[in-house]
Amino acid sequence: MSDEKDRKFPRTRLRAEVKLSHPKVGDQHSHTRDISEGGAFIMAEGIVLPEIGDVVEVQVQGLPGEDAPVVRMRVVRIDKEGIALEFLESEHS
């Protein structure tokens, strides 16, 4: 049973290496499973998970050129595979 048609933003499967940072869990490296205009799902393999509602900083790793921007995201769901994150509105917009 898929809820994909009921989603606000369609998901795109994408594996991107990321660094997830949070004061309680430190800097951790993992990868995305998918992304959408509203957020991303990060795999939980070998990382300590923050809690639902926590705000984390995520940065894509390994891109050519300059470092990718650091993006603030909120944990909205945790399951056995990983964590669902939503993008936060820019504090400067």
How confident is the model at residue 5, as a pLDDT? 56
- What band does 4 get if pLDDT is binned at 50, 70 and 90? low
Measuring CA to CA, which residue among 90, 86, 77, 18 is closest to residue 50? 77
This prediction has a pTM of 0.85
Residue 62 is encoded by which pair of tokens?
């390994």
| pLDDT at residue 19 is higher than 90 | yes
